Amino acid sequence: MSQITGTTKLLGVIGNPIAHTFSPVMHNAAIAALGLDYRYVAFDVAPAQLTTALAGFAAIGVVGCSVTIPHKQAVMPLLADISPLAKAVGAVNAIWNAPEGWQGTNTDISGFIAPLKAMTRDWGETTALILGNGGAARAVVAGCHQLGCRSVRVFGRDAAKLAAFGESWQDIRLETLSSDVPTPVKLHVHLWDELGTFIDRENLLLVNSTPIGMHPHTTDSPITAEIVAKIGSNSIAYDLIYTPRPTKFLQLAQAHGAIAIDGLEMLIQQGAIAFELWLQQAAPSDIMRQALLEHLSKRS
């Protein structure tokens, strides 16, 4: 990789915590492969400092940033413009600096469904159960809608936040997401304790959109082994977390015959789309994937 100079431009990812992120690995590999004078940096930004951080980034000419937990919704009021898709979903995960101010969109949806679309499956017979009701869950709901899942159910622990999450989708249409699915998003919300009622069936897509199980809390799982044991063999367990690989949740699911998908491919695909938005050129996604796999092999 070329030396950092006074002309080097910055990209980055903002989150809190952020030490676990692999985004710099794949983005800096892509930058090096294309011979660009850029660096991608991880910025740990506390929620109370988000406004200050964006102002500082604009002042020093940061070109663009990925946005992760817990800023995907909080960043939206701070942006000058948001894509129709991100407005509909209610979450932003990629921003870039423009003359009129920060712009934002959502690339998580395409990233989330990429490994699912590669599967041969009748999504119209699949029930999606989503653990968590934060910004990441919003992209998952939209992705399940695009796939055409028979039913989408979201589970959370805070009754008031869960109800607000459900109500926020009542009048949303995602024509900007897929002209094939023009109907309003329809979903059901449930308290976490109700999960066991719905998991004892076949053709499930069970998605963990929470940070439970993320490094360093690698022995944690969002649901118990007893509940996971009810998963049918024709079901999919999908954890948006990509470190460790596999998470405790996926280990439990695999032990009971479920198909396991972690968040690595979602990370690559959403990152590649963001890269193209920032730099206006195709992202070398194969190089990004290889860099991540090599990085993971050194950690194991």
> pLDDT of 99-111, one tens digit each?
999 999 999 999 9
User: Which residue of the set 9, 72, 161, 186 is catalytic?
Assistant: 72
Average pLDDT, the chain: 92
- Whether 3 maps to a domain, the answer reads no
Residues 212, 249 within the same domain? yes
Give residue 174's pLDDT band: very low, low, confident or very high (50, 70, 90).
Answer: low
Looking at residue 173, what is its pLDDT?
A: 62
* Gap between the Cα atoms of 28 and 178, Å rounded: 32
- Whether 1 maps to a domain, the answer reads no
Give the type of residue at 73. Answer: Q
**Sheet of 259-261, strand order:** 188-191, 151-156, 127-131, 204-208, 236-239, 259-261
Residues 149, 274 within the same domain? no
Pairing of strands 236-239, 259-261: parallel
Q: Is residue 270 marked as binding?
A: yes
Give residue 200's pLDDT band: very low, low, confident or very high (50, 70, 90).
Answer: confident
Looking at residue 176, what is its pLDDT?
A: 46
Q: Is residue 106 marked as binding?
A: no
Percent of the chain with pLDDT over 70: 95
3-class secondary-structure state, position 66: strand
Residues 153, 96 within the same domain? no
* Gap between the Cα atoms of 222 and 210, Å rounded: 8
Q: Are 131 and 159 in contact (CB under 8 A)?
A: no
Give residue 69's pLDDT band: very low, low, confident or very high (50, 70, 90).
Answer: confident
- For the residues 269-285, what does the mean pLDDT come to? 97
> How many distinct structural domains can be found in the chain?
2
3-class secondary-structure state, position 174: coil
Residues 97, 142 within the same domain? no
Residues 25, 84 within the same domain? yes
- Whether 160 maps to a domain, the answer reads yes
Alpha-helical (H) ranges within the chain are 23-34, 50-60, 84-89, 108-117, 135-147, 159-167, 195-199, 225-228, 248-255, 264-279, 285-299
Residues 127, 235 within the same domain? yes
- For the residues 239-265, what does the mean pLDDT come to? 94
Residues 92, 188 within the same domain? no
Residues 253, 115 within the same domain? yes
Domain extent for 62: 9-105+265-298
Looking at residue 179, what is its pLDDT?
A: 46
Q: Examine the pLDDT at 182 and tell me if it is beyond 60.
A: no
CA nearest neighbour of 147 among 171, 170, 122 = 122
Check if 186 is active-site. Answer: no
What burial class does residue 135 get, using C-beta atoms within 10 Å of its C-beta: 0-12 exposed, 13-18 middle, 19+ buried?
buried
How many Cβ atoms are within 10 Å of 28's Cβ, its own excluded?
18
- Whether 2 maps to a domain, the answer reads no
Q: Are 277 and 105 in contact (CB under 8 A)?
A: yes
- Whether 245 maps to a domain, the answer reads yes
Q: Is residue 151 marked as binding?
A: no
Tokens 């695999």 found at: 254
Give residue 183's pLDDT band: very low, low, confident or very high (50, 70, 90).
Answer: low
Looking at residue 161, what is its pLDDT?
A: 95
Looking at residue 85, what is its pLDDT?
A: 87
Q: Is residue 90 marked as binding?
A: no
Q: Is residue 135 marked as binding?
A: yes
